[in-house]
Structure 1
Amino acid sequence: MPSRRHLPAVDALRGLACLWVVLHHAFGDQPGVPTALARFCEIGWLGVSLFLVLSGFCLYYPLVQEREEQSVVVHLKQFFLRRARRILPPYYLSLAVALALGLRFLHQQGRPVSELLGSWYDLPLHLVLLHNLTRQTFASLSSVCWSLALEWQLYLIFPVLVALVARRGIRTVLIATLVIVLLWQGLAARELGVSRTWQPGLAVVYHALPGRVFEFACGMLAALRVARPVRGQRAIALVVGSACLLPALVLVLGFYRLGPLCDPLWGIVFACCLILVGEWRVQSLLGRVLVFLGERSYSIYLLHLLIMLALPLPSAVASSPLLTGLVRTASALLAGLAFFTVAERPFLRRR
C-alpha cells in the first residue's frame, strides 16, 4: 500500500476546528451579532472536540498504514520525544507571553503580582501539563491551555490503546471507552448537574481524561478506516454521522454544554466526517485557506485568546459588535501566524 501520511483534507479540518474556536471567543460574548453567525460561533467550543478526534487520527494513521493493526507497536522513547519536541517549546513560549501580559495588566491596574497565579503550584502544574486537574489552575494563565494538558494525558495512554486494539480489536476499545465516558459524565451530572455556560468548576470534571477518551478513540477508528478501507464504509459513515448529528445539535443548542452524551455524539460525528473526506483532494480556495490555517493551528490556538484579551479597541470599533468580532479574529490570526514563524516552525524543521 503506498504511504500517504499527509492528507490535506485532515489539515483543512484542523484549520476549521481552529477557526471555529477563534470565532467562538471573538463573537461568542458579543450581543447584536447576526443570528446565524452568533449561533455558529456560540458552539465554536466544539472545535476542541474535533481537535481530539483529529489527534487520535493523526497519531494512529501512520502506524496502521505501515502495518496491520494487530501488529502495530509504539516505540515509547521515540514517540514521547517527538511529541515533547513538537508540543512543548511553543507551549512554554505561550506561557511566557501569558505571564508577561498578565504582569503588564496588573501593573496598569496597580494590583499585586500575587493575583496573577492562583496558588504556589499554579505555574509548576502548567509546566508539567497537569493544571487541568484542579479547579484553581484549570483556567488560569491562559484558559484555553486546559485542552493541551488533556491532549498530553491522552498521549500517555495512546500506547495502551494501541496495544488494546492489537489484542482485542478497535470495536472492543470503542465500546470500553464509551462505557467509561458515559459512567464518568453520568456521575458528574448526578453530583454537579449540567450547564449551558462555561464553568471551570464543572469543566475540571467533565473534561478530565476519562470523560474525553472516547473522542480520541473515534479518531483512531477513522484512521484505521481511511488507511484500510472496507466495503461500504462511506455509506455507513454518512448514515451514522447523520443520525448522530441531530441529537448532538439539539443537546448543545437547547440543553447544555457540560453534560453527558454531548461529547460522545460529537466524537462520532467528527469521526464520520474524517472517514468521508479523509483522502479528498483540496482544490477550492476556501479549502486551501483552511489547510494553511490547519498547518499553523497550534500556534493560533495557543495565542488567540491572549491577544483578544490584551487588544485595545478604538471606540468606533468597540461600539460595533460585528466590527469587534472581526478585529479580534483578524488580530488573533495574524498574531498566531507570527508566533508560528518564531516559536513553532524552527522546531518543525528539526524533526
Structure 2
Amino acid sequence: MPQHLEKINVLRGVAIMLVFGYHSLLVVFGQYEIYEYSPSGLWIDFARYAPGRIVLGLTPPGLGAQGVTLFLVISGFLIHWGFLKSGATFRFGEFFNKRFWRIYPPYLVAVAVFGLSLGTGGLLSLLTHITLTHNLFERTFFTINPSFWSLALEAQLYVLYPVFLLLCRWLGGVGKATLAVAALTGLAMALEVGLQTRSPTLWLSVTNLWIVWVLGAYFGERFFYGKRIFTRGAGYLAGAYGLLTLSALTPVYALLGRVLFSLFFICLMDWYLYLPAPATSAMGQALTRLTARVGLYSYSIYLFHQPFLANIIQFFSFGQKSKPVLALAVAAAFALLFIIAHFTYRWLELPAIRWGKTLYIRSHRPVPAAAVSRG
C-alpha cells in the first residue's frame, strides 16, 4: 500500500474514534452539548451550566461530531485524487459501480439487522433508507440507526461529484469551482439564519455539507500535483485546534464549525501526508499500525456501533454508574466492535467489492468478433 494511503487509514481511525467517543459521551453523560447563548448572543450562557459540562464539550470526544467532517474531507480527497490518477476521465458506470458495491451491500445488511431487531419506523422510513434519502425528511432522519444520515449524505455527494467536475470545466479549475460551491453554501446558510430554521434536515443538509466534501477534493488535486497548502509546523496546527475548540463557546461553531474544521483538516492532512516517517519506538509503531487497522475497519464500525451502544456499555459496566467503570466499559465496547468489524470487513465489505468488480468486468467484456458475425 502506498505510504500516503496507509496514513489515510490512520486518519480514518482517528475519525471513527472521534465519532465513537462522541456517541459514548452521550451514553455516559446524557445530552451535554450546549446550544443556549447569553443575552448578548456572543457566548454560551456560562451562568446556566456547570463548569464540568462546559469542559466536557471542549474535549476531543466532546467535539467528536467533527469526526464525520474528517470522513467527508477524506472521501472528497480520495475520490478526486483517484479520478486524477486514473487519467482525469470520468466513466459514469465504473464510478457508480465502485461506489455502490463499496457502501451499499454492507449498509443493506445493517439496515436489515436493525430494522428486524428494532423496527423500521414505518414504510416511509424503510423506503427512504433503502433509497438512501432518509436524511432529506425530518420524520426519517434518525430512524433505524441514528448514524445512517451521514451514509445517505455520502451517497448524495457521490451523485454531485459529476456536477463538481462540470463546474471545474466551466469555471476553469478546481479552485474556482470550490469557490462557487462555497458561495452556494453561504447562501444556504444565510437563508437558514434568515428563516430561523432549526430542523436537522436543513442544518445538516446536502447543500451545507457539500463544501466540506469539495474542500477534500480541492486538496486531493493539490496533493496530486504536489502543491502544498500548509507548510508550517505542528505548533501552528495545535494553535488552530485550540482556537477552533474555543469557538465551540460561541455561535460561530454552530454556524461555521464544520467548514472551519474542514479547513483545519485539509491543513492537518497536508502536514501529515508530507511528514517524513519518524524514528519511533516499537510501541509507537504498533500504535500507528493499530490505528490504521481501526481506520481500515472504520466503515463497519460506523455501520454497527449504534443503536446498541448504550446496551453494550451497560453490559460491560454491570449496570454501575461509576465514571471509571464506565470508562473501562466504553473501552471494552470499542474492543468488541473492533472484533465484529474485523469479520464484517472480511465477510461483507471485501466480498461485495470483489463481486462488484467481477460483475462490471463481465458486463463490459468485449463481444468476440466471431460471435458478432454469427449473429
- Normalising by structure 1, report the TM-score: 0.82
Distance in 2 separating the partners of 1:263 and 1:142: 22
Give the residue type in structure 2 aligned to 1:252: A
Alignment partner of 1:252 out of 244, 248, 255? 248
Q: 1:183 to 1:322 in 2, by over 3 A?
A: farther
**Matched position secondary structure for 1:41:** coil
Q: Deviations over 1:251-283 (max 9, x none)?
A: 3355476x3221211111111112222255767
SS in 2 for 1:275: helix
Query: Residue 47 of structure 1 is aligned with which of 67, 79, 82?
Result: 67
Query: Aligned partner of 2:153: which letter?
Result: L
Q: 1:260 to 1:254 in 2, by over 3 A?
A: closer
Residue 297 in structure 1 maps to residue 298 in structure 2: yes
Corresponding position: 1:133 with 2:136: yes
2: CA distance, partners of 1:27 / 1:302: 18
Distance 1:281 1:343, change over 3 A: farther
Does residue 278 in structure 1 map to residue 287 in structure 2? no
SS in 2 for 1:126: helix
Query: In the alignment, which residue of structure 1 is the partner of 2:164?
Result: 161
How far 1:161 sits from its partner (Å)? 1.0
For the residues of structure 1 that align with 2:149 and 2:83, how far apart are their CA atoms? Answer: 27
Matched to 2:225, the amino acid is R
| Cα gap change, 1:234 to 1:126, in 2 (>3 Å) | same
Gaps of 5+ in 1: 103-115, 194-200
What's the RMSD between the two structures over aligned residues?
3.0
Alignment gaps of 5+ in structure 2: 30-51, 358-375
The answer as to whether partners of 1:9 and 1:281 remain within 8 angstroms in 2 is: no
Deviates more, 1:285-294 or 1:145-154: 285-294
Instruction: Give, in angstroms, the shift of residue 87 of structure 1.
Output: 0.8
Contact 1:300–1:340 (8 Å) recurs in 2: no
Q: Percent identity among equivalent residues?
A: 24
Structure 2 residue 340 is the aligned partner of structure 1 residue 343: no
Q: Does 1:267 align with 2:229?
A: no
* 2:79 alignment counterpart: 59
Higher relative contact order (CA 8 A, sep 6+): 1
Equivalence for 1:21: 19
Query: Which residue in 2 is equivalent to 1:112?
Result: none
Q: Distance in 2 between matches of 1:308 and 1:23?
A: 11
Amino acid at match of 2:210: V
> Structure 1 residues 233 and 211 mapped into 2: Cα distance closer, same or farther (>3 Å)?
closer
* Structure-2 change in CA distance of 1:66 and 1:96 (3 Å): closer
1:15 deviates by 1.0
Which of the pair has more CA radius of gyration? 2
**CA-to-aligned-CA distance 1:8-56 (integer Å, 9 cap, x gap):** 11111011101111111123342499x6798221111110000000110
How is 1:51-200 mapped onto 2 (pairs within 5 angstroms)? Answer: 51-67=71-87, 72-102=88-118, 116-167=119-170, 168-192=172-196
Residue 86 of structure 1 contacts residue 348 of structure 1 at CA under 8 Å; is this kept in 2? yes
- 1:326 equivalenced with 2:331 (yes/no): yes
For residues 58 and 235 of structure 2, the distance between their equivalents in structure 1, rounded to whole angstroms, comes to: 28
How much does 1:186 deviate?
2.7
Indicate the SS of the match to 2:308.
helix
Per the normalisation by structure 2, the TM-score is: 0.77
Deviations 1:140-160 (A, max 9, x none): 000000000000000001112
Name the CA shift for 1:315/1:307 in 2 (closer, same or farther; >3 Å).
closer
The number of equivalent residue pairs is 323
Counterpart residue identity of residue 75, structure 2: S
Task: Note if 1:227 corresponds to 2:231.
Answer: no
Equivalent residue in structure 2 for 1:218, among 215, 218, 241: 215
d(CA) in 1 for partners of 2:218 and 2:28?
38
